[in-house]
Amino acid sequence: MIGIHDLRVRFDSDKGLVDAVQGVNIDVKPGEFYTLLGPSGCGKTTTLRCLAGLETPTGGRITIGDTVVHDTKRGLTIPTHKRDIGMVFQSYAIWPHLTVFENVAFPLREARPKVPEAQIEARVGKALELVQLGGYESRPAPFLSGGQQQRLALARAIVREASVVLFDEPLSNLDAKLRAETRLELRHLVKRLGMTALYVTHDQTEALTMADRVAVMRDGRIVQEATPTEIYKRPNSRFVASFIGQCNFADGTVTAAARGAEPGLIDTAWGPVRFDAAADAATGAKVTIAVRPENVRLVANGTDGAADVPQGEVIDTVFLGESVECRVRLGNSDLVARIHPDQPVEEGKAIGVMIRPKDVAILST
């Protein structure tokens, strides 16, 4: 539904030439919820704005549905207002001089051929119902709360029934609780209406909970693109691993490659660590491994199968409410384990550290 091919954007800014986007390729299927995730300045918003036609790429081709909306080679750009899209802005961009109704009706009033007034009323009413703003029609837009303005912006984006909806960090101005509620509501709404969504965010939780597919961007490039589960479990770089959630890292040398069900072995500062065949590494290769804190299990001596488990020492514990974070000295290095608050650990005590082979991700860089 959305095709972005070798997109390049170069800005002529105060600091000289900046390559904001350097060859991005994206293919979003119809009905898919696709998320661009990355730190500020990684080029994700620029990519989105190119798709919307608010920014002119210096290279590449963009298609929406069956229409080429931009092709640098052919010098072709369709202006924003002729593209089949809706968009929710980070600032909401609610027009302060119009009422709630008129804000939502705006895209319909601009539509050619003209939409009959009765139909406008019906469609605006429906859109407002969908975002639970029914009954607010005549209210001046600035008199809405932050959450209501956000939903109004959403109603305006969907009222045109465009095939693609773009989201530019739409939840970043909401407070934490409202954000958590809105995340799922928003995904359900998009899915229910069968729209294709491109969602830009720097918040990993949003990316993981809402998206069908996530692309992590850095310095104008996509560094990894996968489903949320895949990207969390098998990050391909230190950057992705640490950007999405917390991670323990260790450098090491592969001493034995994994063969079928037989796990491989890596020599690290933590001591030897086993990994399974999902992670591909040849014997003798220098690699970095990543292990999530919640996948590091601490087992007290004498409990089940703790016999051949490497021994570490608890250095520090931090109580977080739903879990406890333990810093453990293992071999020549430290690692962090996240455990259930009920599990008894004591600082300065020895403890067994267990890492399952399938929880070890081998990073390419």
Partner 1 sequence: MVDTVDIAATKAPAPSARAGRNILARAFPWIVLIVLAALVIAPIFSLVAGAFSLSRLPNEFSLDNIGFDNFYAVWVEQRIDKVIWNTAIYVVGATIFGILSAALLAWLVERSDMPGKMWIYAGVPLGIAVPGILHAIAWVLLLSPRSGFVNRGYMEITGSAAPLFDIYTMGGLIFAEGLRLVPVAFLMLVPLMRSMDPSLEEAAAASGASPMRATRRITLALLLPGVLAVSIFQAITAIENFEVPGILGMPVNLHVFSTRVFNLIDNIGTIPAFGQANAAAVFYLIIALVISFFYLRLVRHSERYSIITGKGYTPRQVRLGKWRKPALAVALLFLFVTIVLPFLVLLYVSLVNYLRPPSWEAFTNMTTKHYEAVFNQPRVFRTLMNTIYVTLMTATTVTIVSFVIAYVIVRTRFRGRYALDMLSFLPHSIPGIVLGLALFWLFMQFDKLTGASTFGSIYALVLGFTILFLSYAVRAMSVAMIQVHPDLEDAAKLSGAPPWRIALRIFGPLLLPTLVGIWIYVAMLSVRFISLPLILSQGGSNEVLGVMIWSLWDNGNISSVGAIGIMLMSFMFVLALGLRAFGFGNQRGGAL
Residues within the interface to partner 1 (CB under 8 A): 3, 11-13, 52-54, 63, 66-69, 71, 74-83, 85-87, 89-93, 95-97, 106-107, 110-112, 142, 153, 156-157, 160, 166
Residues with Cβ < 8 Å from 116, sequence gap 6 or more? none
Which CB, 102 or 203, lies closer to partner 1? 102
Between the CA of residue 317 and those of 109, 182, 349, what are the distances in Å? 60, 34, 12
Q: Least distance (Å) from partner 1 to the CB of residue 221?
A: 22
Which CB, 61 or 179, lies closer to partner 1? 61
Q: Least distance (Å) from partner 1 to the CB of residue 211?
A: 22
Rounded Cα distance between 326 and 318, Å, is 7
Which CB, 52 or 361, lies closer to partner 1? 52
Q: Could you tell me if residue 53 is left (phi over 0), alpha (psi between -120 and 50 degrees) or otherwise beta? A: left
Q: Least distance (Å) from partner 1 to the CB of residue 131?
A: 16
Q: Could you tell me if residue 94 is left (phi over 0), alpha (psi between -120 and 50 degrees) or otherwise beta? A: beta
Tokens of 283: 């014997």
Which CB, 70 or 183, lies closer to partner 1? 70
Phi/psi of residue 195, each to 5°? -90, 155
Single-letter amino acid, residue 262: E
Tokens of 221: 């490039």
Specify whether the CB–CB gap between 156 and 106 falls below 8 A: yes
Rounded Cα distance between 275 and 10, Å, is 42
Q: Least distance (Å) from partner 1 to the CB of residue 264?
A: 42
What sign has the CA pseudo-torsion 107, 111, 117, 123?
A: negative
Of 54, 86, 73, 244, nearest to 156 by C-alpha is 86
Of 258, 205, 251, nearest to 232 by C-alpha is 205
Which CB, 26 or 296, lies closer to partner 1? 26
Q: Least distance (Å) from partner 1 to the CB of residue 92?
A: 8
Of 24, 53, 26, 20, nearest to 197 by C-alpha is 26
Q: How many helices (H) and strands (E) does the chain have?
A: 8, 21
Query: How open is the CA angle 358-361-362, to the nearest 5 degrees?
Result: 130
Q: Least distance (Å) from partner 1 to the CB of residue 138?
A: 18
Q: Least distance (Å) from partner 1 to the CB of residue 50?
A: 13
Tokens of 363: 């990073």
Which CB, 24 or 85, lies closer to partner 1? 85
Q: Least distance (Å) from partner 1 to the CB of residue 87?
A: 4
Which CB, 83 or 292, lies closer to partner 1? 83
Which CB, 92 or 270, lies closer to partner 1? 92
Tokens of 324: 């406890």
Which CB, 137 or 294, lies closer to partner 1? 137
Q: Least distance (Å) from partner 1 to the CB of residue 62?
A: 10
Which CB, 152 or 215, lies closer to partner 1? 152
Of 282, 280, 285, nearest to 268 by C-alpha is 285
Q: Least distance (Å) from partner 1 to the CB of residue 243?
A: 26
- Residue 148 CA neighbour count, 13 Å, CB half: 14
